[in-house]
Structures are given as structure tokens and as C-alpha cells.
Structure 1
Amino acid sequence: MGSVSMAQQMLGRGVPLNRLRIRRLALDTAACVGLSLVLASSLAVSAMAQDAPAGEKAAPLKLQLNRLESVEDSCRATIVVDNSRGAALKSYKLDLFAFDTDGIVQKRVAAELGPIPARKTTVKIFNFPGIACPKLSRVLLSDVLACEGGDATREACLERTETETKANIPFDR
């Protein structure tokens, strides 16, 4: 004898044909739903991978040394912080060094530029005490001392920080 189909076996047990069709529809629907979920999740993973490809840097945090001005016995620095593509930071503390015209380090300043709002450009002002602006030849961003907010780490913040200048001296990293 040949093989008997499941439908024929079920009919032999007295299961009505419409119940067999409903059962088959339910199985087909469950399979479609399962396949749809698998496809949707793979599309979501693919979309996230396209937004941030592996090895790509996070959105840059751009620092521009915009202005230097003498104030009493200090040199006041104005920094434009462009976080137009990044997440908010509660704290963003920089280790900065000011070099004189002979290339000798004269001042070290730990400048807190936070909080920095998400997707916003802000202006921060701080002083290099005890040194006149005309005696400065360069400002160096040596390190990021603190970076708090979201999933930011100190090392990640340093990596994404970019420097530029509109002042008459270099601002390096």
C-alpha cells in the first residue's frame, strides 16, 4: 500500500474536512508570521549596521579656538564647541597646555567645558592665568580628563575630539 496522507488519516478518524483546512491555515499563518519576524529583525540589524559601520568613528566633537584676549594678568580663551551631531555630555574636562613664543610650556589648565547639550553648538570661556596672550604661540589639547554622558568614555571622547583655530596661534591635539 502507498503512503496515506495526513488528511486521509484524519478523515479516517472522523475529523471534518473544514477543521483540517483551518488547522492547515493556522500552521501556514504561524509560519508566515515567524518568517516575517525573522525578516524584520534582520532588516533592523542591517539598518543599524548601515548607520554606524564597524570601525567608523562616532560623531566628531569639534573644538575651535575662536579668540584670545588679554584680561588683567591672564589670557582669556574663547572656545566654540560644535556637538551638532553628538549626544549630550554632563562633563567634558580638557587638559590644556599653553606654550610661549620660545615653544616652552608656560601654563597647564584643566578646563571644564561641560555640560554640552546634544546636537548643539555652544561657546565656552576660560582663562590661562598669569600669562599674557601675546606671549602665547600654541595651545595643546593634551588629554580629556573627564567625559560623562550617555555611553561616553574618556578615551572615546578624546578619539572623537577635533581641533581647529581662528585665533592667531595653532590649537593642536
Structure 2
Amino acid sequence: MIDRSFSSSRIGAALVSGFVAMALVGPAIAQEAGAEKAAPVKLQLNKTESAGDACRITMVVDNSKGPAMKTFKVDLFAFDTDGVAQKRVAVELAPIASNKTSVKIFDFPGIACGKVGRILLNDVLACDGGEGARETCLARTETESKAGISFDR
């Protein structure tokens, strides 16, 4: 004779264990999926103009779908038309309001705009707000250019 109460209690325990595991793992999976779908911060090289011996950059920062950021400092390199790195600047683009697009203006000193062939977003140096981690900010940053100079990561 088979003791059915023993088998059903084992099945019940297995089901409970499975539900507990799903309850513990489910939020972690959802959090990872949420991190992958974080709203992008779009940096658009919108315009360049000469400002003395500097190349003045007008940058559109599109955070129209993201949380506010207290700090968003980027590391940029300007390359000449032959692809040789010329100038490096660290630029603070924050504060950035949530769900807002803003314009920031800064200079690449000592290089004429006509000699700039490419600008590289080398890294995100600091990021505070929203998801917060520097690496997360770098991953969610997208680049584009309307200025006739390539801008990429």
C-alpha cells in the first residue's frame, strides 16, 4: 500500500519551495530588465562656431524620458581631420531636470572648428541621479551630430 499523504506532502513542499524561489528571483530579474530599458540620455552635437582660438560647442542634452541628474560629467576628445587626438575636455552637463531637454555651451580651447573632424565621448566621469552609477549612465548615453562633425562613443 502506498502512503498517499506522504507523497502529497512532498509535492506540496516542492510547490511551496518553487513559489518561494520565484518570489525571490522574480524581482531581481525585473530589476535587471529595468536596467536594460533605462531611458537614454541623448547628446546631440548641434552646432560649432569659432570663439577666438577655441571651437565653441553647442550641445543638446535630451533627457526627455529620464530622471533628474545632479551631476553628469563627460570626458570628450576632439580629433583633427586626420584622426589624430588633439584636445581633451571634461564637461559638466548637469544639472539636468527630469523629462527635460536643455542646451549646454562649452569650448574646446586651442583648436579651430575647421580642424575638428570628430568628437568622441570617451567616458562618463561622474553621474549622480536616476540610476546613478557611472557605468549605467555611460551605457544609457547616446550620441548624434547635426554639426557636420562626427560625434560618437
The alignment's TM-score, normalised by the length of structure 1, stands at: 0.69
TM-superposed CA distance for 1:102, in Å, is 1.2
Instruction: Choose from 62, 84, 106 the match for 2:42.
Output: 62
Instruction: Choose from 71, 88, 93 the match for 1:108.
Output: 88
1:9-58 alpha-carbon deviations (Å, 9 max, x no partner): xxxxxxxxxxxxxxxxxxxxxxxxxxxxxxxxx9xx99xx5xx8456330
Task: Looking at secondary structure, tell me which structure has more strand per residue.
Answer: 2
- The one-letter amino acid of 1:66's match is N
- The one-letter amino acid of 2:55's match is C
- 2:18 is matched with none
1:1-173 aligned within 5 A: 49=30, 53=33, 56-173=36-153
Gaps of 5+ in 2: 1-22
Moved over 3 A (4+): 52-55
Alpha-carbon distance in structure 1 between the residues aligned to 2:69 and 2:45: 20
Alpha-carbon distance in structure 1 between the residues aligned to 2:60 and 2:130: 22
Alpha-carbon distance in structure 2 between the residues aligned to 1:110 and 1:133: 18
Identity %: 65
1:53/1:91 CA distance change after superposition, 3 Å: same
TM-superposed CA distance for 1:149, in Å, is 1.5
TM-superposed CA distance for 1:150, in Å, is 3.6
Alpha-carbon distance in structure 1 between the residues aligned to 2:89 and 2:37: 27
Count of residue pairs the alignment pairs up: 127
Q: Which has the higher contact order (CA 8 A, sep 6+)?
A: 2
Alpha-carbon distance in structure 2 between the residues aligned to 1:150 and 1:161: 13
Alpha-carbon distance in structure 1 between the residues aligned to 2:115 and 2:69: 33
Supply the RMSD in Å over aligned alpha carbons.
2.0
The alignment's TM-score, normalised by the length of structure 2, stands at: 0.78
